[in-house]
């Protein structure tokens, strides 16, 4: 959906939608001129947590015939699953789906500063100066990017793990950030998106649905005050190894 919005394919009430455009029950929503029904978020919002394996792509149809994440999802009547952000084909971990366009937009829009937490394995070890550079900001071809937090998680041999938090979701931004300081990410796992973490019990390729109570808590969390100057709290998360 985010890609469709950026391409100008989505219309709300006859106007081209942008990232963050609010969609409410009664609004006229269309994709490529085809009308879609807007679900009542207060009653019908559903959210799935999916543990995406490497090798699957986040698209509905792939001309190359590769496995897509949507083939794993339960069928819906009168609604459709929307992915909240994306993960590239080589990245695994937490991927969220919802039936609510408003919820998806709120989770993805930069002004909400929703954190994404990753475990990244690289070849080699960052120096203190390189870690400081990633925290201060690195110039990429599409603008500056930085880690909100960055922690050394250790490793063996030439492989080293880092835990990092970012408040944006540009295409391959974590990999490009490490490449900018001379490192290649050999494995990348998203372990948290906003207030939702990847459950340890959820194996690759498995999914679970939030309860109505958990969806309500998520919607309430999105209404939290946003302070642009705030720094995300540093917290110790469980180590990820593979």
Catalytically active residues are: 88
State the greatest distance between any 2 C-alpha atoms of the chain, in Å, as a whole number.
58
**Beta pairing class for 91-98 and 47-52:** antiparallel
Q: How far is CA 178 from the centre of its chain?
A: 18
Computed on alpha carbons and rounded to an integer, the radius of gyration of the chain in Å comes to: 18
Q: Which residues pair with 139 in a beta bridge?
A: 144
Q: 229 to each of 83, 133, 165, how far by Cα in Å?
A: 29, 19, 16
Phi, psi of 122 (to 5 degrees): -125, 160
Phi, psi of 112 (to 5 degrees): -85, -10
Q: How far is CA 220 from the centre of its chain?
A: 19
Q: How far apart are CA 129 and CA 131, in angstroms?
A: 5
């Amino acid at each position: 959906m985010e890609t469709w919005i950026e391409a100008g394919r989505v219309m709300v009430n006859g106007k081209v939608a942008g990232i963050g455009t609010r969609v409410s029950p009664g609004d006229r929503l269309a994709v490529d001129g085809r009308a879609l029904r807007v679900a009542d978020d207060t009653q019908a919002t559903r959210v799935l947590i999916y543990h995406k394996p490497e090798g699957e792509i986040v698209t509905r149809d792939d001309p190359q015939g590769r496995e897509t994440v949507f083939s794993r999802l339960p069928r819906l009547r009168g609604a459709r699953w929307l992915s909240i952000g994306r993960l590239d084909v080589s990245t695994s971990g937490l991927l969220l789906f919802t039936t609510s366009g408003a919820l998806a937009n709120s989770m993805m829009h930069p002004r909400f500063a929703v954190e994404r937490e990753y475990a990244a394995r690289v070849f080699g070890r960052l120096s203190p100066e390189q870690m400081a550079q990633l925290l201060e900001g690195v110039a990429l071809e599409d603008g500056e990017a930085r880690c909100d937090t960055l922690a050394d998680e250790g490793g063996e041999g030439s492989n080293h793990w880092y835990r990092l938090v970012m408040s944006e979701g540009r295409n391959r931004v974590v990999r490009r950030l490490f490449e900018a300081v001379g490192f290649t990410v050999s494995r990348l796992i998203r372990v948290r998106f906003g207030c939702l973490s990847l459950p340890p019990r959820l194996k690759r390729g498995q999914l679970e649905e939030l309860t109505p109570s958990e969806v309500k808590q998520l919607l309430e969390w999105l209404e939290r005050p946003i302070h642009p100057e705030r720094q995300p709290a540093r917290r110790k998360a469980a180590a990820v190894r593979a």
